[in-house]
Structure 1
C-alpha cells in the first residue's frame, strides 16, 4: 500500500471518530435544548458550529494520538478503525484521560468546551426570547375562562402513558406530576406543571397538546411558528365541530 493511500485511510479513520461521537453528542444536545420548544437545529448557525466541533475535535484528537503528533505513521488495519469507533463513542472520557495524563500539551478540552459554549450561545440568542414570549402568553391563555386545565392535563397523561420511548422512571415522574397538578386548587401551580411538561412533548405533537387545554386558534396562530399552520387549522376545525 502506498504512502498517500495510507494517510488517506488514516484520515478517514480519524473522521470516523468524529462521526461516532455524534450519537452521544446529540443526546446531550437534546437534553440541553429541550426547553427551547420551537428549536429547529438545521436553521440555527449555532447548531452548525456545534456540529463542526463534534466532528472535528474527536477527529483531530484521535489523529494526534495515533500518530504521536504526526511523528509516526500508525499501522493501517481493521484495529485502527475499531479504535476510531471506540474513541468516537467515548470521546469525552477519551479527551479527559488524555488531558489528565499530559498527552496533550494544549488544553484541548477547554478549547472544545469554549467552541461548544459559543454554539449554545448562538442557539440561545435565537430561541430564548421566542420560548419566553410563548410561555408568558400561554400563562395568560390558560387563565382564560375558556381554558380547560383538567382536560388538558388528562390529555397529557394519556400522551405520556402511551409514549413507549419513555423509561419507566420518566413515565412515573411525568404521570406523578400530572396527578399532583390535577389535585391542585391553584391554577398557577397547575400551569407551572404544564410548562415543565411541554418540553417533553414532541414538537409535532405540541398543537394537539395545547388543543387539549382548549387554547384558542388565535393564540396558536399568533405564538406558534408558521410550520405549525396545518396542525393549527386542523385544531380549529376540531374545535368548530365540537361547538
Structure 2
C-alpha cells in the first residue's frame, strides 16, 4: 500500500492526458449520438467502456513515452507535456508512436477496434427506443398534414407554428454551423408539395435540436399529450407543476 502511495504523484500526472482526452472526445461522441434522443451517458454501459478507453490509452501512452516508471521530476515542463498530450491526443494517434526502440500503430490495432465495440454497445442500448420514438413522431406529423386539406402549411397551423419555432431556435447559435444550412432547409420544407417529404425534412431538423429542448419543439408542433407523456414524462410533470404554481401566484 505504501508503495502505491509513493507512485501516486506520477499516476496523477499520467491521468491528466486521459481526463483531458475524455473532455475533448466527448464532443465528438455527443455529435455521433445526436439522433439518440434518450442518450443518458451515465446510464449506458457502452459509454463507461468508451470513457475507460479514452482515459487509459492516453494515460498509458504518456506513461511509456515519457518513461514515468523512472520517476522523473514532476516540473512545469512535464505537466505542460501532460496537458498537451491530452488535448492533442488525436495527433498522437495519427502518427506511429515510439516506445523505446519499437514503433506502434496504436490507432489501427488498439484504439479504433475498442472504440467501435464501445459505440456498438451504445447503439444496441439506444437504437430500439430511438427508432420507436422517431416513428411515433413521424406518424403524428403525417396525421397533422393529412388532416389539412393540402400540404400547404397554411392549412396546418400546428406545423407552421413548429417551423416558426425551429427558425428562431436555429438562429440562436453561439458557435454557428453554416454547413448545417438550417434556414435553407426550413425554406425547402415550406416549398415542398408532397406531405411525406415534408415530414421527413421536419424530422431531419428535429434531430438537430438539443435533447433537453426537444420536448419544447414537439409541443410547438402540438404533438399529443400521449406522445409527450410516453417519452418525456418528467418534463411534462415539471411543466404542469410550474403552471399550477404560476396560476396560484
Normalised-by-shorter TM-score class: 0.7 to 0.9
2:92 to 94, 97, 105: 94
| TM-score (norm: length of structure 1) | 0.83
1:230 to 237, 241, 244: 237
Whole-angstrom CA distance in 2 between matches of 1:5 and 1:127: 40
Whole-angstrom CA distance in 2 between matches of 1:124 and 1:116: 12
> Within 5 Å, which residues of 2 pair with 1:42-57?
42-57=42-57
Residue 174 of structure 2: SS of its match in structure 1? Answer: coil
| TM-score (norm: length of structure 2) | 0.81
Residue 143 of structure 2: SS of its match in structure 1? Answer: coil
Whole-angstrom CA distance in 1 between matches of 2:57 and 2:87: 13
Match of 2:166 in 1: 156
CA-CA distance at 1:208 after TM superposition = 1.2
Match of 1:215 in 2: 223
In 1, are the aligned partners of 2:65 and 2:98 still within 8 Å (CA)?
Answer: no
Aligned length: 230
2:213 to 205, 210, 225: 205
Q: Deviations over 1:13-65 (max 9, x none)?
A: 11011111122101111111111111111111111111111111100000000
> Within 5 Å, which residues of 2 pair with 1:82-231?
82-99=80-97, 105-109=103-107, 110-145=109-144, 148-161=158-171, 163-167=172-176, 169=178, 173-222=181-230, 224-230=231-237
Cα distance change on mapping 1:102 and 1:138 into 2, 3 Å: farther
Cα distance change on mapping 1:101 and 1:199 into 2, 3 Å: farther
In 2, are the aligned partners of 1:61 and 1:95 still within 8 Å (CA)?
Answer: no
In 2, are the aligned partners of 1:152 and 1:209 still within 8 Å (CA)?
Answer: yes
Q: Which runs of 5+ in 2 are unaligned?
A: 148-155, 244-249
CA-CA distance at 1:8 after TM superposition = 3.1
CA-CA distance at 1:123 after TM superposition = 0.9
In 1, are the aligned partners of 2:161 and 2:221 still within 8 Å (CA)?
Answer: yes
Whole-angstrom CA distance in 2 between matches of 1:22 and 1:105: 25
Whole-angstrom CA distance in 2 between matches of 1:191 and 1:37: 18
Whole-angstrom CA distance in 2 between matches of 1:104 and 1:123: 34
Cα distance change on mapping 1:231 and 1:210 into 2, 3 Å: farther
In 1, are the aligned partners of 2:95 and 2:105 still within 8 Å (CA)?
Answer: no
CA-CA distance at 1:73 after TM superposition = 4.0
CA-CA distance at 1:189 after TM superposition = 1.6
Residue 97 of structure 1: SS of its match in structure 2? Answer: coil
Q: Which runs of 5+ in 1 are unaligned?
A: 238-243
Match of 1:9 in 2: 9
CA-CA distance at 1:157 after TM superposition = 0.6
